[in-house]
Structure 1
Amino acid sequence: MIAKAKLLEAIAGKNRGLLTTESDKQAILSVIAQVEDQNPNPRPLQVPNKLDGNWRLLYTTSQDLLRIEQLPLFKLGQIYQYVRAREAKIYNIAEVYGVPYLEGLVSVAARFEAVSDRRVQVKFERSILGLQRLIDYQSPVHFIEAIEAGQKFAAIDFNITNRDQQGWLDITYLDDDLRIGRGNEGSVFVLTRN
């Protein structure tokens, strides 16, 4: 698909959105709209086997994520989203680098509920912020297995109970290796299967 290749070319070298100008953002959003128009799965929640899996963020306009880069002495590393469709669970993991031996991690676990053929309501349940070494972080998969086993970490690890800590996400494009979503705060997310 030409539009998909054009999108991947447009976001290459943009460091998930950190290195975009306003004109870059507008051009990328235009290409994203072209890709969305060619969505092979217009009802993505009816194909959970395609949604399910481990995803890596390629591009976003989410200031909540991109703001992590503004922490003094730290740089935003890879950002992952692991979707467990059958259990209606999502795990977001952002790796943070900078000062040697103080590599960090910001993670949020959530549940989701389908409210239409392409929209999910997301309710955040747990947040974990800590140093990778102290929580024995080896990989996203290993970390999620520990969360699912009920492990508590030597980190800022707390349950999110505030009813306001929720949102929605429209899955606007889904194929075997690319997913695009648009969130309730106007943010766009482009992810590739990891």
Structure 2
Amino acid sequence: MLQLLSLRRCDLHSIRPRNQAGNYGTRRVPAQRVYAAALAEPIAPAVQTLMTKVTGAEEARQAILDAVSGAKGRGKSGISSEAVDSLEEAVQILEDKGGIQAPTNSALLEGRWRLLFTTRPGSASPIQRTFTGVDAFTVYQEILLNTAGGARVNNIVDFGGRIGQLKVEAEANTVSRPLPGFTPRKGKGLPLFGKSESTPPSSPEVRIDFQFDRAAFDLAALPFKIPYPVPFKLLGDETKGWLDITYLSPDGQFRLSRGNKGTLFVLVRDPSPRERLLQAVERGAGDDEVQAAIEVLQDQGSPVPKPARSAQVFGRWRLRWSKQSGNANPLQKLGGNSGRSWQTIRQDGTVENRSVIIPGLLTLRADATCETASADRTAVDISIVYFDIGPIKLPFKLPRKDDRPPAYVDWLYLDNDLRITQGSRGSLFVHTREELE
């Protein structure tokens, strides 16, 4: 029975036959055949039926996500033998079919990835087994191929916003982005750090060689980072490893990787703070969730410095979300909640706000002028408001400026296609750029 359990939980790496060149090749022995040979009996009909349904890349991807959904500790436990069967067959299908060719040269590999599942061979290092097996932590991997200082691969253990994170960073080497003077790892290494392999990649464009060079705890309660107590410079080859991108989906949202310790990794792209905000707005998330996403994006800083002085503010912007303050004027509340509101800012300093209240029947328009008040603030003066009722245009003049408190807009975030602003009365707005007609 112990032998059976060990075989059923074996690392996928160990059941892939090598070709004469020592590579893993394109053909793999299905896990079910290995199990069936060991048990001297056929695969269970239910499992076999499940496998025959998984034939395409999308089905295989979904089968993997379904299989690991119940796993605890990212594969440490909680996954049934049937789910293991489904997982291994689906992984084989994806790696055979292939995704993005030459993934280490693809922009789709860039960014932050969240670890969903990993196998745990005996060759894995104690550190890897410890941190990846705790559900209370979130484990990420950053792949940064186009940074000014060279390509990097960073592993991040997130303990939660109130605690902080551990970030282990490495220099990276690829065929298209060679690291000067870098020598790939050789030998199996010290048992303490896990047994390593030196198998050549199936293609040079799938492998990232790396060398860890720094690590630190970044704790929320402390204003400084605490270095991770590992003497990287003294460990030589023990700080080196490699990662093969064995499958990268065409949409860049899902990947499979295998490491030099014989481990399979299943990862999904972690949305950037910008993507999280837009996703929350798109699905109509509650105000608290949207505001939390705005705060995270704000913490990163605006990509456009001194936004109020930038030419990026000009153009037509569509209102995607707003939270009106209690003292916002009734017309602003009416337009902000219509769901069909646009603002056009012209280079001559004129502004047009247009909100479709009832399509084809009632539109609210407001003409204004604006001027830069500071690097982050634009002063606004609304001069006249129109109610367009069908073909009839009813103007409504506002009180003179001297009789009204000065209005302004603060630019909290600005990039080429997204802006976050806050009005002088505290209302918060998210706009996306639209092309002028």
Matched to 2:245, the amino acid is I
The structural deviation recorded for 1:130 is 5.6
Asked if residue 94 in structure 1 is aligned to residue 166 in structure 2, the reply is: no
C-alpha distance in 1 between matches for 2:244 and 2:110 = 15
The structural deviation recorded for 1:92 is 1.0
User: CA RMSD of the aligned region, Å?
Assistant: 2.6
Aligned residue in 2 for 1:160: 232
Q: TM-score, normalised by structure 1?
A: 0.75
Aligned residue in 1 for 2:105: 46
Aligned 1:45-64 pairs, distance under 5 A: 45-47=104-106, 49-62=107-120, 63=124, 64=127
The structural deviation recorded for 1:42 is 3.2
Asked if residue 84 in structure 1 is aligned to residue 144 in structure 2, the reply is: yes
The structural deviation recorded for 1:159 is 6.1
C-alpha distance in 1 between matches for 2:100 and 2:90 = 18
Matched to 1:29, the amino acid is E
Aligned residue in 2 for 1:4: 61
Name the SS for the 2:60 alignment partner: helix
Alignment deviations for residues 70-124 of structure 1 (CA, whole Å, 9 cap, x no partner): 7xxx754111111111231111111236xxx7x3533210111125111111111
The structural deviation recorded for 1:131 is 3.7
Q: TM-score, normalised by structure 2?
A: 0.35
Name the SS for the 2:131 alignment partner: helix
The structural deviation recorded for 1:20 is 4.0
Of 155, 167, 179, which aligns to 2:255?
A: 179
C-alpha distance in 2 between matches for 1:60 and 1:69 = 8
Aligned residue in 2 for 1:129: 217
Q: Tell me: CA distance 1:121–1:67, structure 2 relative to 1, closer, same or farther (3 Å).
A: same
Structure with the greater relative contact order (CA < 8 A, sep ≥ 6): 1 or 2?
Answer: 1
C-alpha distance in 2 between matches for 1:52 and 1:130 = 23
C-alpha distance in 1 between matches for 2:213 and 2:227 = 16
Q: Tell me: CA distance 1:182–1:69, structure 2 relative to 1, closer, same or farther (3 Å).
A: closer
Query: Contact (CA 8 Å) 1:128, 1:158: kept in 2 or not?
Result: no
Q: Tell me: CA distance 1:155–1:168, structure 2 relative to 1, closer, same or farther (3 Å).
A: closer
Bigger shift: residues 53-62 or 24-33: 24-33
Q: Tell me: CA distance 1:18–1:46, structure 2 relative to 1, closer, same or farther (3 Å).
A: same
Q: Tell me: CA distance 1:7–1:45, structure 2 relative to 1, closer, same or farther (3 Å).
A: same
C-alpha distance in 1 between matches for 2:206 and 2:132 = 30
Aligned residue in 2 for 1:28: 87
Query: Contact (CA 8 Å) 1:122, 1:168: kept in 2 or not?
Result: yes
The structural deviation recorded for 1:43 is 1.6
C-alpha distance in 2 between matches for 1:189 and 1:5 = 16
Name the SS for the 2:137 alignment partner: strand
Query: Contact (CA 8 Å) 2:219, 2:225: kept in 1 or not?
Result: no
* Unmatched segments (≥5 aa) in structure 1: 136-151
Q: Tell me: CA distance 1:159–1:84, structure 2 relative to 1, closer, same or farther (3 Å).
A: farther
Query: Contact (CA 8 Å) 1:110, 1:124: kept in 2 or not?
Result: yes
Query: Contact (CA 8 Å) 1:127, 1:160: kept in 2 or not?
Result: no
How many pairs are equivalent? Answer: 170
Bigger shift: residues 108-117 or 36-45: 36-45
Matched to 2:69, the amino acid is A
The structure with the largest strand share of the pair is: 1
Query: Contact (CA 8 Å) 1:131, 1:155: kept in 2 or not?
Result: no
Query: Contact (CA 8 Å) 2:209, 2:242: kept in 1 or not?
Result: yes
The structural deviation recorded for 1:55 is 1.0
The structural deviation recorded for 1:59 is 0.9
C-alpha distance in 2 between matches for 1:134 and 1:118 = 39
C-alpha distance in 2 between matches for 1:120 and 1:156 = 23
C-alpha distance in 1 between matches for 2:261 and 2:80 = 18
Work out which of the two has the higher radius of gyration on C-alpha atoms and give 1 or 2: 2
The structural deviation recorded for 1:65 is 3.0
C-alpha distance in 1 between matches for 2:214 and 2:227 = 12
Aligned residue in 2 for 1:147: none
C-alpha distance in 2 between matches for 1:129 and 1:32 = 34
Query: Contact (CA 8 Å) 1:69, 1:76: kept in 2 or not?
Result: no
Aligned residue in 1 for 2:244: 170
C-alpha distance in 1 between matches for 2:129 and 2:229 = 22
* Unmatched segments (≥5 aa) in structure 2: 1-57, 176-203, 271-437
